[in-house]
Structure 1
Amino acid sequence: MTPPPAPVRDAPTGPRASPRSLSGLWPFVRPYRARVALALLFLLGAAAATLALPLALRTLIDQGLVAAQPGERVMALRTHFWTLFAVAGALGVFAALRFYSVTWLGERITADVRNAVYAHVIRQSPAFFETTRTGEVLSRLTTDTTLVQTVIGSSLSMGLRNGLMGLGALVMLIVTNPYVMAQVLAILALVVVPALAFGRRVRRLSRASQDRVADASAIAGEVLNAIPVVQSHGQEAREAARFARATEAAFDTARRRTRMRALLIAFVIVATAAALLWGLYQGTQAVLAGRISAGHLGQTVVYVILLVSSVAVLSEVYGDVLRAAGATERLMELLSARSAIASPAQPRPLPPVSGGSAVALEGVEFRYPSRPDTAALLDFTLHVRPGETVALVGPSGAGKSTVFQLLLRFYDVQRGRVLLDGVPVQAADLHALRQRIGLVPQDSVIFSTNALENIRYGRPDASDDEVIAAAQAAFADDFIRALPQGYHTFLGERGVRLSGGQRQRISIARALLQNPPLLLLDEATSALDTHSERMVQAALEAAMRNRTTLVIAHRLSTVQRADRIVVMDHGRIVETGTHAELLARGGLYARLAAMQFAADGPAPA
């Protein structure tokens, strides 16, 4: 039995997101270990140059100003200023190299994460998308990866640099003023406990803030993909208000997170500054008492400034790291989602066929993961011979489209077997299985590219002539050539520049170009007018030759020439036969035909 995947967006929003969550990025960092080591080397150089500045300043004050003769004093000052300039130059070079290296790493790793998440998500079974909204996934691919890039490419580097500088400054202060700094450290220890409490609250709010942004993105994605429906019902104001409520919820959560981060920053800076100013006061008293020199005090002042500024930067970086940790956790949730539909470790090869594939569904029972209490198919058995055309007919919800989804192995059955050319679909390689099947769905999908590439999607290596031949077979060539740039005309997002019938014919041409031994037509002529339907029906009849075809149609006029009509109801087969045989029996098919032909006119002979 196929278990439903856990809903991704229901992940806990508690204190799980900690800096440790960033360890999930290690597989993406590992390939660039050499560049990471180089960036750390540049970072160490920049930190060392910064820590050397106070030492050069102390030497300038204590030695450059002590010469008795003005000329000697000028020469000494010139030497010490050149030393200061050399240190500053080294700092500039190392800082620039660090910035480039770290920024490159941030951009590269973020691109790898984004590619990995996207490639993983599009391989998930339809069951995954029954519980995960597309807008949620898009939010993680954009907002969350941007947060990760900010931390890896900027904040983490700043944090490491300031951590090293702060630690170095602290060590130097302890070495030069051990007694005073012992008091300062005792005071600083009191800062840690409240800061940790603030940090936990920030972590929770960071994760909640990202979830609220994802909610708004999901609403926007859903509505923008249904603009004609929204506008035709006059619901623009309502949808704008719904989006506004979602963004306000995101803003409110972000406001609380920002307020908590601001309090954390203020507390850390004020408490640290108070402790260090106490130490600085003790230093000035030591100068007045003659225990240390003026240069020593100047060095101490600069180290205190470095330490305080480092703590201030670290407090801000820590908030960014917490946000990135929450984003990383959400991305890792997507990467950890495992699809129940995957190729077996040792797939069985599909045998070569000519004249169409053999299809068999034997004793199938299937329930959708989102509707486990309702059987979509129950004790369903169907055998289709190679080259045979079988029409599936029945009321909505009878299970017709489910048959197609099981053949394509979008889902696995809970009981029974589904076979293609004698091989169970679960034992076949997934790509090879789907390459053997051509699908013309009820809702034609048109990609944001030109007509040529939309048709070529069925076989990416096809030549332009083959694409045009497929379009001609689907009676799409005339209207495509009438477009402004012909086959190179951009069709708009979701094919908005085409009519429904034109989109359907593009979809049919795509399937014909693939030239599969098994063709699945799901209401393939539903969007066509009578004239177009006749043309496409003739093209489809030609395409059905030498291949197996399964047809789903509510319009019974499109299935009358099928070799066999299978009538379904509530997931079971209730009748099988030709159009004439089923009419003569007076069963469900006859009732459906009577209702339809009563509306459309007399049934054809």
Structure 2
Amino acid sequence: MNYFKQILRFAKPYKGYAILNIISNIFYALFGTLAMVSLFPMLNVLFDKTKRLETKPVWEGITGVKNYAEDYLNYFVTQKASEGHDDVLIFMVILVISMFLLKNVFSYLAMYFITFLRNGVLKDMRNELYYKIIDLPISYYSEKKKGDTIARISSDVQEIQHSFLSILELIVREPLMILFTVIMMLLISVKLTIFVFIFIPVSGFIISLIGKSLKRKSDSVQQEQGQFLSIVEETLGGLKVIKGFNSQTAFGEKFRASTTRFYNFSNKLLNRQNLASPTSEFLGITVIAVLLWYGGRMVLNDKALDPGLFIVYMGLAYNILTPAKAISKASYSVKKGNAAAERVLEIINTVSPLEDQPNAITKTDFTDAVALHNISFKYEDDLVLKNFSIHVPKGKSVALVGQSGSGKSTIANLVTRFYDVNEGSISIDGEDIRNLTKHSLRALMGLVTQDSILFNDTVKNNILLGKLNASDEDVIEALKIANAWEFVKELPLGIETNIGDSGNKLSGGQKQRLSIARAVLKNPPIMILDEATSALDTESERLVQVALENMMKNRTSIVIAHRLSTIQNADLIVVMNKGEIAEQGTHNELLAKNGVYKKLVDMQSFE
């Protein structure tokens, strides 16, 4: 129930619908009970068992409600009978139909109002989960499979709607139906009702035994669903490699193994779940059968119960079975929904280690310098950076070079605060970036990565991520600075052309120039370029390099470079080796030192 309480907080904005649902359910339960009771006078008229009453009965208080209701009905029937049997029958038929009609009208209204609550909770839960997914740090997803996260926001949330939220329909309606029915049963025969309630706990105990393993089985199903969605996501992402290495069979086997496990888990779960309905119905009919025997003796042997009342009583007893069965199925749903809720709430309740401090500063300008002071950092066990320090004054460009694994890209991750340093500090204008809001920090920065991350949208909308309210003219100007307008204007719809999934309708150089245009449009005071040209051919590199030089004019830049030809004009070049500074200086100074940098330049000159 702990998970259920957490899910219920999403229902608060829709409490108006919940109240209307409860009111409708009260009337549904009331008219559902009266519909059964209304059969009694009909039976009495048919069997001519109606007691003739010529005088109107007198109300003697709540304790005599049963006798008053019965006498008043008999008085009414007596009056109608004097006008002819047809009138009595027509009235009784209308009474029965009216009760059942009202029961079903309120049943529909209850379902109508709960629909808005259920779908509203589903919408808000998905929204909160999505915002949490994009708020959590990148490090959170280093161990997680994308497919598993997709399964949580899609099928797990849907499962919560089907399981937990279906209880909201039952939480008032079915207990009220049982309550009203039991009150009527007690009014008809206390002795018979006590006999019925000896058997109900026994039935409940047997039903509860079936559902104990449902949560565990449901958890296995949902985890396996996340597994095969991950395989699909990886397959679509690496289709060229799979085809190029003729690995279709291997991946097919991997996917088949996952779907086979899903098939087996689902069979076990659904077969256990399907057992609920026939078991509860069989136990209910057993109770009815015993009731027929015991009640029949009261009617035939003891003459303690009117036959018409006994038939109505049997109808009421069966009337309990439907809500009881619904409640037993709901208990299975709770167990099944628990597994889904646990997986969804695991993400929602995760506290981000990069949360803004309560008194975080919103920084809107950049006036002095970016400084990394004695920082050390590790992703897992081994330090990637050790006591690393650099100073990047405003308007200057600092290039970081070195072998792969020397910690260059880690600097970009730390300055943008995708991760926090383990030791030391990073400051902007003397203020530790951990004291700034993440939003204002990243608003000061533009990022161009080695992998051009573009979205399945138009050229324009991809560029507008840099500045959402920019005009078409601003977008075109940014494309010109990034050397991208030449090819964009040739596209079928210009800036309104869709570039496909991950921008795959474009070449590598074209994609990278769009990434640069996005950063240009943002126009941030600090630019971080993480190996922006390393994946390009020579011609594309030249075009992109010109674009980068255009962008970096009069701007503070941290450039992470693999190709040394792209950073020769940097104000400072920092050569890194195993997370430490090997040497630093300008291009000419470093060549004169004849050290690590000179070796890197010589190696690349032979490439």
Please report the TM-score for the alignment, with normalisation by the length of structure 1.
0.91
Task: String of CA shifts for 1:262-282, please: whole Å, max 9, x gaps.
Answer: 334433332232123201222
Task: String of CA shifts for 1:392-451, please: whole Å, max 9, x gaps.
Answer: 100111000111111001111111110112211101111110000100011111111100
Matched residue SS, 1:565: strand
Q: How far apart in 1 are the matches of 2:268 and 2:171?
A: 24
Q: Please name the residue that 1:5 is paired with.
A: none
Q: Please name the residue that 1:307 is paired with.
A: 320
Deviation at 1:485, TM superposition (A): 1.3
Matched, 1:129 2:141: yes
1:559-598 maps to which residues of 2 (within 5 A)?
559-598=567-606
Deviation at 1:391, TM superposition (A): 1.0
* Change over 3 Å in CA distance of 1:452–1:157 after alignment to 2: same
Matched, 1:49 2:31: yes
Matched residue SS, 1:341: coil
Q: How far apart in 2 are the matches of 1:192 and 1:291?
A: 30
Assess if the C-alpha contact under 8 Å between 2:366 and 2:444 holds in 1: no
Matched residue SS, 1:131: coil
Deviation at 1:214, TM superposition (A): 1.8
Amino acid at match of 1:298: I
Amino acid at match of 2:321: V
1:317-336 maps to which residues of 2 (within 5 A)?
317-336=330-349
Assess if the C-alpha contact under 8 Å between 1:102 and 1:153 holds in 2: no
Alignment match of 1:147 (pick from 159, 170, 173): 159
Q: Which runs of 5+ in 2 are unaligned?
A: 51-77
Assess if the C-alpha contact under 8 Å between 2:482 and 2:551 holds in 1: no
Alignment match of 2:272 (pick from 239, 260, 264): 260
Assess if the C-alpha contact under 8 Å between 1:565 and 1:579 holds in 2: yes
Matched, 1:544 2:548: no
1:440-519 maps to which residues of 2 (within 5 A)?
440-519=448-527
Amino acid at match of 1:466: D
* Change over 3 Å in CA distance of 1:204–1:89 after alignment to 2: same
Q: How far apart in 1 are the matches of 2:290 and 2:441?
A: 75
Task: String of CA shifts for 1:318-372, please: whole Å, max 9, x gaps.
Answer: 2223222322222211111011112221123437336xx611111111111xx1x
Task: String of CA shifts for 1:229-261, please: whole Å, max 9, x gaps.
Answer: 222222222222212211221221222122222
Q: How far apart in 2 are the matches of 1:202 and 1:538?
A: 62
* Change over 3 Å in CA distance of 1:221–1:546 after alignment to 2: same
Deviation at 1:111, TM superposition (A): 0.2
Assess if the C-alpha contact under 8 Å between 1:459 and 1:514 holds in 2: yes
1:196-275 maps to which residues of 2 (within 5 A)?
196-275=208-287
Amino acid at match of 2:372: L
Matched residue SS, 1:380: strand
> Which moves more between the two structures, 405-414 or 259-268?
259-268
Amino acid at match of 1:37: I
Q: Please name the residue that 1:7 is paired with.
A: none
* Identical columns (%): 31
Amino acid at match of 1:24: Q
The higher-RCO structure (CA 8 Å, 6+ apart) is 1
Q: How far apart in 1 are the matches of 2:422 and 2:2?
A: 40
Assess if the C-alpha contact under 8 Å between 2:573 and 2:585 holds in 1: yes
Q: Computing the radius of gyration over CA atoms, which structure comes out larger, 1 or 2?
A: 2
Q: How far apart in 2 are the matches of 1:227 and 1:71?
A: 85
Assess if the C-alpha contact under 8 Å between 2:572 and 2:586 holds in 1: yes
Matched, 1:360 2:371: yes
Q: How far apart in 2 are the matches of 1:445 and 1:108?
A: 33
* Change over 3 Å in CA distance of 1:167–1:231 after alignment to 2: farther
Q: How far apart in 1 are the matches of 2:170 and 2:87?
A: 38
Assess if the C-alpha contact under 8 Å between 1:107 and 1:153 holds in 2: no
1:40-439 maps to which residues of 2 (within 5 A)?
40-63=22-45, 65-66=47-48, 72-151=84-163, 154=166, 156-158=168-170, 160-289=172-301, 290-350=303-363, 352-353=365-366, 358-368=369-379, 371=380, 373-439=381-447
Q: How far apart in 2 are the matches of 1:473 and 1:147?
A: 50
Q: How far apart in 2 are the matches of 1:570 and 1:175?
A: 86
Assess if the C-alpha contact under 8 Å between 1:360 and 1:419 holds in 2: yes
Assess if the C-alpha contact under 8 Å between 1:348 and 1:423 holds in 2: no
Deviation at 1:215, TM superposition (A): 1.9
Q: How far apart in 2 are the matches of 1:334 and 1:266?
A: 37
* Change over 3 Å in CA distance of 1:194–1:298 after alignment to 2: closer
Task: String of CA shifts for 1:156-179, please: whole Å, max 9, x gaps.
Answer: 414643333234333433442332
Q: How far apart in 2 are the matches of 1:362 and 1:192?
A: 67
Q: How far apart in 2 are the matches of 1:321 and 1:101?
A: 22
Q: How far apart in 2 are the matches of 1:305 and 1:184?
A: 11
* Change over 3 Å in CA distance of 1:384–1:20 after alignment to 2: closer
Assess if the C-alpha contact under 8 Å between 1:358 and 1:384 holds in 2: yes
Q: How far apart in 2 are the matches of 1:154 and 1:201?
A: 20
Deviation at 1:64, TM superposition (A): 5.4
Amino acid at match of 1:149: Q
Deviation at 1:32, TM superposition (A): 2.0
Matched residue SS, 2:365: coil
Amino acid at match of 2:304: R
Assess if the C-alpha contact under 8 Å between 2:483 and 2:546 holds in 1: no
Q: How far apart in 1 are the matches of 2:442 and 2:143?
A: 24
